[in-house]
Amino acid sequence: MSSAQQVLAVNDDLPIRTSLPVHSGKVRSVYWLTEADSARIIAERGYDLPANTPLAIMVISDRLSAFDCVWQAEGGLNGVPGKGAALNTIANHWFELFREHKLAASHILEVPHPLVWVVQKARPVKIEAIARQYITGSMWRAYSKGERRFCGERLPEGLTQNQLLPNLLITPSTKGILRGIPGVPEADDVNISRADLEANFAAFGFNSVADITTYETLLTQGFAVISEALAKIGQTFVDTKFEFGYVKDASGEEKMIYMDEVGTPDSSRLWDSEALHAGKIVENSKEFFRQALLNTVPDADVLLNKERMPEREALAANTRLPAEIFAQVSKTYTDMASAITGKPLQLSDNPRQEIIDILARDYDLIDD
């Protein structure tokens, strides 16, 4: 079977019974179940949730997104073989480890297939919670141009590219376009300070000012748990993005949870530790793909300048990258999944049909 056949590039057209239009992002699609199906599955599967909790089936694709665009390769390859399964497997592993360390739950209720999560509806906190252990990427680009204050935190003079920071730095940014918040530009992915969060905690989705400390604690603890585990397999946890939200348990008590994915090569930078100690950077995350794009496009500013987004989207739509690049991404992701979990990654020959069969047999969610 060819790589193209094994790739799940389109994930928003599955015949899953839903109550709302399918929400499809750059990588994942969300199918919100009917009230009747949600209540039935909560009862049948014994989830610790109020009976009226909305549930969804979240399906990850193998699409490759970078710089807010989806990229394709030659030969009709519209995704990276094994990428979706690798991301889900890694995130599931970290969420289990978080539970073992009694940190917090996640929105995931079950994993019926390597590309599928059964999730509960959560009320999201409207920030991307970013933690940085090294100065690299966009932060280094800004620092090298003279910026010293990031999200209200001042960095010392004299730092060099890829240097270990004095402390773990929390640099949150907005998730989506937030309107009417004093001092916060109405644009996506805007850096914000703790003072911004404290002054407008409700607008950002927090229940209280105290919950800002809760998210910072969960972010710091989660970073430490992943960093320690990665160190044991020779990987350095450089930086990452977490997301948080609120859910209610069966007793009606509201609590903060982890959302989306954590500690994956898509949402984090991972460096080979041995190479780092030798003064070299070997990327084991999507960053090497981003760097390859920056080094090969005619004008790198198109990828870095948000004001040139229409040009960037046209570039991605009209570019077919060498299949070898996608193969390299596939190897990086699948190798990292196997190293992190200690198990070979199981890949599907026909992921679409497997998902349909499982959701029909075990959840009765497929309409004929």
Tell me the pLDDT tens digit for each residue of 120-157.
999 999 999 999 999 998 899 999 999 999 999 999 99
pLDDT at 3: 57
CA dist 291 and 128 (Å) reads 22
Give residues with Cβ within 8 angstroms of 341, minimum separation 6.
Answer: 89, 90, 93
CA distances (Å), 255 to each of 17, 39, 86, 96, 244, in order?
29, 21, 28, 18, 10
CATH class of 124-277: alpha beta
pLDDT digits (tens, 9 = 90+) for 262-285: 999 999 999 999 999 999 999 999
Question: Phi and psi at residue 67, in whole multiples of 5°?
Answer: 55, 40
pLDDT digits (tens, 9 = 90+) for 289-342: 998 899 888 899 999 998 999 999 999 999 999 999 999 999 999 999 999 999
Quick one: pLDDT band at residue 1, thresholds 50, 70, 90? Answer: very low
* Contact status, residue 91 vs residue 261, Cβ threshold 8 Å: yes
CA dist 343 and 143 (Å) reads 40
Q: Where are the domains of the chain?
A: 3-122+338-363, 124-277
What percentage of the chain reaches a pLDDT higher than 70? Answer: 98
CA distances (Å), 223 to each of 172, 236, 237, 264, in order?
14, 11, 8, 12
What SS3 state is found at 166?
A: strand
**Model confidence at 92: pLDDT above 50:** yes
As a whole number of angstroms, the longest Cα–Cα distance in the chain is 64
- What is the mean predicted confidence (pLDDT) over 207-235? 97
Burial 261-294 (b: 16+ CB within 10 A, else e): bbbbbbbbbbbbbeebeeeebebbbbbbbbebbe
**Model confidence at 82: pLDDT above 90:** yes
Report the Cα 194 to chain-centroid distance in Å: 22
Concatenating the DSSP letter of every residue in 93-133 gives HHHHHHHHTT---BSEEEEEETTEEEEE--EE-SEEEEEEE
- What is the mean predicted confidence (pLDDT) over 251-267? 92
CATH of span 3-122+338-363? 3.30.200.20
Model pTM?
0.93
Q: What angle do CA 121, 123, 124 make, to 5 degrees?
A: 115
Can you tell me which residue has the tokens 């790589």? 3
Among 49-58, 176-185, 203-212, whose mean pLDDT is lowest?
A: 176-185
pLDDT at 366: 96
